[in-house]
Amino acid sequence: MSAAETLASLGEAAVLQRIFPRLPTATAELLGPGDDAAVLATPDGRVVITTDMMIHGPDFRLAWSSPRDLGWKAAASNLADVAAMGAVPTALVVALAAASDTPIAFLEEFADGLRAGCEAMAPGCGVVGGDLSVSSTLTIAVTAFGDLEGREPVLRSGARVGDIVAVSGPLGAAAEGLRLLFEHGAVTLVDGSREPDAAAAARVTREHPAAIAAQLRPHPPIADGRAAAIGGATAMLDLSDGLAIDARRLAVASGVGVDLDPAAIASPSQSSAATSPRDALDGGEDHSLLATFPAGVDLPGGFRVIGTVVEGSGVLVGGRPYERAGGWDPYEGWDGGSG
Amino acid sequence: MSAAETLASLGEAAVLQRIFPRLPTATAELLGPGDDAAVLATPDGRVVITTDMMIHGPDFRLAWSSPRDLGWKAAASNLADVAAMGAVPTALVVALAAASDTPIAFLEEFADGLRAGCEAMAPGCGVVGGDLSVSSTLTIAVTAFGDLEGREPVLRSGARVGDIVAVSGPLGAAAEGLRLLFEHGAVTLVDGSREPDAAAAARVTREHPAAIAAQLRPHPPIADGRAAAIGGATAMLDLSDGLAIDARRLAVASGVGVDLDPAAIASPSQSSAATSPRDALDGGEDHSLLATFPAGVDLPGGFRVIGTVVEGSGVLVGGRPYERAGGWDPYEGWDGGSG
């Protein structure tokens, strides 16, 4: 592997030949990459489908994320959406657009991250197809598929008054990592602006490895999506924009209120240390699973109680309405920076 | 609809509310946009999947393509890949990344183009999900799905010596349109470079409406994919990179040679005027369907004979090897321009 080998010097066909062997294979793959389209087995007679883009600048910084991190996170965020329907992830297709002078090693390591992420979070799930394009903005578009195994999908709209509210996975850990990176993983330029910096990020990563990993390589509890569905979950979604916003979405869809316990949301999970209630409520990108269950059930997998479903509307914390908007709107939240 | 309304001024949720009603609905949709993922019916027990990106600059120019054109073409190019497997397109998911100051009208017209394209080329196919992101490079990523209706997929690898080679749809029309746009739809800047220009493009479109339409709003014969499979096609692919390159792919995959008839490939099709043999061989983006059939069959749909499958390898024209590479490699072919 030579550093001089780029996408342009190799050409599309040779690039694909280098990447294909590194990608994870899907158990449900009937026909993989190489023809006009792939064919995936869907023995249930239905397929769960979700798609998500990651854009250099608003969604990641190359001074902070390695290519392997990007592959892992692209898998994690899409697998979580499949899991949140109560389905088992079966396959991904991955489209990637990069500059012509991108080293082939970048794509190889990205493929390694996809494979590592699938193997760790959703064994049996693999990449069945994709597309390579050229762009001045590094762009990753993943579409993920899942098998409902004969069950009904778990929607956002099924929560009932009296249900318990539970979460599996960390609350606020990814946001804590992002704040640490912006505060200590960037350098101040002569014009006073801040720019992501790899050496500074390496230092803050040594001091806070868990929080940085939660941001760059989130590890949502994918198998708990299936476990929740089997365990009787009445509603579920993945926490991409933060607990307050996503719990509100569940509340609105179900026509109920969600009352969160401030002590429970700030307590440590199996996979992360305690965070501040504000990070827990407003921090996005954990991709943890938020679900409601009938009162009295034995919670499956890593789920822990953080609240109750009540009459009314919106999100409450300790019985008091929580009105802060929080979260991330791509069209309002990005300042145009990259690095 | 105000020109002042942009993605940033409306915010993501309001943008989605404006777009959803304009999108085509899929007959096979069990759960559409609004939850973590969609659910699509796949009664066959398998699903055909293909994904493709369109990037501002290498893949389209905003001086030439309207938002409606982009929606139509994004549908067409993906529907053709599904059709080339012998499948019936059932659904799309569409991810789009645009600058914050993009007018909402742009996305509304893009959605209208998706709907018009699906209705014209693949009735019953609709959009079941998607993703909106922010990017300084306008990027469209479509994943398309198809139903094999119990048939085996038609691969590139099934052509046998003695088969006839047939095509449905134009050959070279899209390339002729692109050449006209580069020659007459651009203006020369003070530094001598050429830049796409909307007024110049409007003039050349008045003179050559069919060729320009073939480039900006290709109308591949999607239903002929299913017809070819039922009619006994032994191999098939869609012509995205040009007849010479794509016929070579079929030949390599099948371990045969493909001998093309120079008179047949330059003759007019149902959907376009006669083109030069060179445009027919080397011009991409028609998304016509190239298929092989056993000798003596009644060709289905709009298929017409353009050659025969022979012993040997590669592509021949009138019995003589055709070695010109042609086609489009994104990492070698883009000069970095946009406009």
Of B30, B42, B134, the CB nearest to A334: B134
Alpha helix stretches (DSSP H) within chain B: 7-10, 12-19, 67-83, 104-121, 173-184, 198-207, 209-216, 223-230, 243-254, 262-266, 277-282, 330-333
For testing the chain A interface, which of B9, B18, B23, B35 should be mutated: the one with the most A CBs within 10 Å?
B35
Nearest residue of chain B to residue A34 (CA atoms):
B156
Low-confidence stretches of chain A (pLDDT beneath 50) = 1
CA distance A35 to B157: 9
* Predicted local distance difference test score (pLDDT) of residue B333: 72
A139 CB neighbours in chain B (<8 A) are: 53, 55, 97, 135, 137, 139, 141
Of B49, B134, B331, the CB nearest to A93: B49
Residue-level length of chain B? 339
Give the number of other CB atoms < 10 A from CB of residue A267.
Answer: 15
Lowest-pLDDT choice from A172-176, A222-226, B10-14, B328-332:
B328-332
Q: How confident is the model at residue B318 (pLDDT cuts 50, 70, 90)?
A: very high
Q: Is a pLDDT exceeding 60 seen at residue B280?
A: yes
Q: Is a pLDDT exceeding 60 seen at residue B126?
A: yes
* Predicted local distance difference test score (pLDDT) of residue A232: 98
Contact A93 B31 (CB under 8 A): no
Contact B43 A41 (CB under 8 A): no
Q: Which domains does chain A have, with CATH numbers?
A: 7-147 (3.30.1330.10), 164-172+219-321 (3.90.650.10), 176-216 (no CATH)
B144 CB neighbours in chain A (<8 A) are: 37
Nearest residue of chain A to residue B144 (CA atoms):
A37
Query: What average pLDDT is seen over chain A?
Result: 93
Smallest CA-to-CA distance from A260 within A282, A234, A286, A231 is with: A282
Q: How confident is the model at residue B271 (pLDDT cuts 50, 70, 90)?
A: low
For β-strands A46-55 and A139-147, DSSP reports them as antiparallel
DSSP B325: -
Of B12, B41, B236, the CB nearest to A45: B41
The minimum CA-CA distance between B180 and chain A, rounded to whole Å, is 24
Complex-level ipTM: 0.94
* Predicted local distance difference test score (pLDDT) of residue A100: 95
Give the predicted TM-score (pTM) of the model. Answer: 0.94
CB environment A192-214: b (16+ within 10 A), e (fewer): eeeebbeebbeebbeebeebbbb
Nearest residue of chain A to residue B50 (CA atoms):
A37
Residue type, B186: A
* Predicted local distance difference test score (pLDDT) of residue B193: 87
B87 CB neighbours in chain A (<8 A) are: 37
* Predicted local distance difference test score (pLDDT) of residue B273: 60
Lowest-pLDDT choice from A315-329, B53-67, B128-142:
A315-329
For testing the chain B interface, which of A49, A127, A224, A287 should be mutated: the one with the most B CBs within 10 Å?
A49
* Predicted local distance difference test score (pLDDT) of residue B268: 67
Contact A12 B331 (CB under 8 A): yes
CA distance B242 to B246: 6
Contact B133 A330 (CB under 8 A): yes
Nearest residue of chain A to residue B238 (CA atoms):
A36
Contact B135 A139 (CB under 8 A): yes
* Predicted local distance difference test score (pLDDT) of residue A269: 63
* Predicted local distance difference test score (pLDDT) of residue B78: 97
Contact B330 A51 (CB under 8 A): no
Q: How confident is the model at residue B174 (pLDDT cuts 50, 70, 90)?
A: very high
Alpha helix stretches (DSSP H) within chain A: 7-10, 12-19, 67-83, 104-121, 173-184, 198-207, 209-216, 223-230, 243-254, 262-266, 277-282, 330-333
Nearest residue of chain B to residue A94 (CA atoms):
B51
CA distance B59 to A214: 36
* Predicted local distance difference test score (pLDDT) of residue A268: 67
Contact B95 A136 (CB under 8 A): no
Cβ(B287)–Cβ(B167) under 8 Å?
Answer: no
Query: Taking residues B134-141, what's their average pLDDT?
Result: 97
Query: What average pLDDT is seen over chain B?
Result: 93
* Predicted local distance difference test score (pLDDT) of residue A279: 83
* Predicted local distance difference test score (pLDDT) of residue A272: 61
Of B37, B80, B155, the CB nearest to A48: B37
